[in-house]
Structure 1
Amino acid sequence: MPKKRGNNEGTIYKRPNGTWCGQITLGRKEDGKLKRLTFYGKTRQEVADKINKAINSYNAGVLVEPSQLTLGSWLNTWLFEYKKSSLRPSTLQSYEYLIRYHINPALGHYKLKELRPEHIQLFYNEKLKEGLSPRTVKYIHTLLHGALKQAVKNNIVARNVTEATILPKQRKKEIRVLSLEEQQRFLQALEGERLKAAFIIALATGLRQGELLALTWDNVDLKEGTIKVKRSLKRVKNFDPSIKKNTILIFQEPKTSSGIRIIPLPPAAIEELKEHRKRQLEEKLKAGEVYEDNNLVFATELGKPIDPRNLLRTFYRIIEKANIDINFHALRHTYATRLLEANEHPKVVQEILGHKDITTTLNIYSHVLPEVKKAAAMKINHLFEVDNKNKKSK
């Protein structure tokens, strides 16, 4: 039974799945039927707020009739009213960018009720011709499918037209791995660098750039020789009007639970971290009261988080010095490749890297597996060897 509603709330009730639903009636259509709008939320208050917002918009004459609602307007509503609270800041930024830069210029003007599968399919095909990767097109598809799925739930459209489209085949991305000789050149180029330890840890643990910059000393156990990964540092677009900045640095949780993990440290990396800790304490003493202690393992000389862009500037200067052409992620790929080359089990590599599924690990590092399989076969080769000496005596 619906809970008694407050003023101007419409009908609000709890659904069997635990979420809340609310409906309001705003006059009648030309055919005499009632105009009804439906809203969903995780709490009763969330639904009540959405209803009040819709009523205020209606009274101000700016509420759009469902039949006149464009894809561009709906995507904005879907992203900021339905998805924002459940998305990581970096994902919100990605969605907003794809909508603004790719989807709306091509499809935003279509009314939802007029949008057809061929409109979406042509859009995908054109984006591929423009040079967008199949992976990005699939990401756009995921976004559109989610937005239109919600539109179906809200009875704005009868079907999700993205379900009738065909996605491009995914191309396997080539990965760059340092050779053993290049790895030595890279390590030599680190000598004298203030952030030498950061790049050694990246190469010795496979940490992503954001994970490296978010690492705190309370998640480093130098005695046991382990680090715990719990979050990452990202620079994202600012959607808070109260903050007068276009972008902000934020710490965020991993995408999946597998991203939270404990990684063992090789002895050389432990010693490097000990030396780095000493230098950092000296910097803290030198800076005095202006030092901002965030307990970060890798911070600026004043203790503040290092902007990912600044770390990359240092990285590219180092690889230029070493005469190597790689990106930062190649350090992670190199780490994983070295483990597999040493016959480490792929399941162990998956857990250390924080991949949700072992299939991801196997697909990315399939170039190493033939040699690993060959080495495995050689381990049982002796079982098939005939003892020629005994054979001759018979």
Structure 2
Amino acid sequence: MKSFFGPHRHLQSISSEDVKLYINAQLAANNAPGTVNRRLACLGRMFKAMQECSDGPKTIPRFRYLKEEGARKFTLSYDQESSVFKAVEDLDQLRPGPQRGPPRKLDAHRYLELFQVLVETGMRLGEALSLRWGDLTMTASDSLIKLHRIKKLKTGRARTIPMTETCRTVFERVRQRDSHPSGPFADLNKRRAEHIWSRAVKNARIDDPECVIHCLRHTCATRLLRATGNLVLVRDWLGHTTIQTTADIYAHIESESMLLGAAALAASRRAHLRTSHGWLPDHSCFEDFIDGAT
């Protein structure tokens, strides 16, 4: 950004048109949409910080993020999830080799709790690390996570997520220990989380390069969509700004649902023929289609 806007450019002088020119320049330099979006996110945070100053401008430049084709969509199966989480847990059992070295930091169990919450809630890593105890409601009747600090949210859209039983159990366990007074994961950091995750994935022998921490968010969303078929619910749960964003990312789940719908129709016809006529058409392709779809 410094090379494009200049090292002495005042942030307040950058307009929406300037941002559009910057986006075009980034694309012309063959940068992927995902790379451009991460740089735009950085620029957006600077704009928001400027606006929050006592003498900051009332309005800031607006821009749209680029559509990311082929965005990461890797999701964990339940078996893979168990393997990775077990590998994380095992990291605290490692002992120094014959050459010793500095004392090993035994904190993998804390990051395991973080990963468990991520896959149960679909939160982004930064959102979970920024949680405060006041954001959590854990009463006899309610178990909620309130994400309301706008500047900490990627889309700037506040939302409330219900806790699963597993998620609540993790939070209660963390609170019962001598945890950080600010929040459940306030003593953890992104860099260490990524290091522990990478080691655990390698030890679990998952070779897919898209098996990064963010896949926990996709895993949660995929399971939720398969369980409910409700795209609007998934949009609100994840905090997407538009339903189109959710539909684009999880279109493959919608396709699976369509196949299951076709299989259900075929099964309905088979049941009718069996009960009404006592026979079924002898079409192997008919059977193969149903078996393949289900």
Q: Deviations over 1:44-100 (max 9, x none)?
A: xxxxxxxxxxxxxxxxxxxxxxxxxxx8569924x33456xx9xxxxxxxx8xx99x
SS of the residue corresponding to residue 9 of structure 2 reads: helix
Gaps in structure 1 of 5+ consecutive residues:
1-70, 87-94, 104-119, 144-167, 233-251, 285-292, 301-305
Using the size of structure 1 for normalisation, the TM-score is 0.49
1:265 corresponds in structure 2 to 163
1:26 corresponds in structure 2 to none
Residue 215 (structure 1) shift: 0.7
Q: Counterpart amino acid of 1:340?
A: L
Q: Counterpart amino acid of 2:234?
A: V
2:145 corresponds in structure 1 to 227
User: Which stretch has the larger CA shift, 168-177 or 207-216?
Assistant: 168-177
Residue 183 (structure 1) shift: 1.1
* Aligned-residue CA RMSD (Å): 3.8
Q: Counterpart amino acid of 1:209?
A: L
Is the contact made by 2:88 and 2:196 (CA closer than 8 Å) also made in structure 1? no
Residue 382 (structure 1) shift: 6.3
Using the size of structure 2 for normalisation, the TM-score is 0.63
2:74 corresponds in structure 1 to 176
1:274 corresponds in structure 2 to 172
Indicate the structure with greater helix content. Answer: 2
Residue 356 (structure 1) shift: 0.8
Residue 253 (structure 1) shift: 3.8
Say whether residues 1:372 and 2:257 are aligned partners.
yes
Gaps in structure 2 of 5+ consecutive residues:
44-65, 93-108, 279-294
2:289 corresponds in structure 1 to none
Matched residues, number = 226
1: distance between equivalents of 2:27 and 2:214? Answer: 29
SS of the residue corresponding to residue 251 of structure 2 reads: coil
Indicate the structure with greater strand content. Answer: 1
Q: For the pair shown, which has the larger CA radius of gyration, 1 or 2?
A: 1
Residue 136 (structure 1) shift: 4.5
1:299 maps to which of 155, 167, 186 = 186
2: distance between equivalents of 1:220 and 1:264? Answer: 10
2:219 maps to which of 309, 334, 338 = 334
Query: Greater relative contact order (Cα 8 A, min sep 6): structure 1 or 2?
Result: 2
1:204 maps to which of 120, 128, 137 = 120
Residue 227 (structure 1) shift: 1.1
Is the contact made by 2:161 and 2:237 (CA closer than 8 Å) also made in structure 1? yes
Residue 312 (structure 1) shift: 2.1
Q: Counterpart amino acid of 2:135?
A: N
1: distance between equivalents of 2:220 and 2:163? Answer: 12
Residue 171 (structure 1) shift: 3.3
2:9 maps to which of 76, 81, 87 = 76
Task: Call closer, same or farther: CA 1:199–1:170 in 2, change over 3 Å.
Answer: closer
Q: Counterpart amino acid of 2:148?
A: K
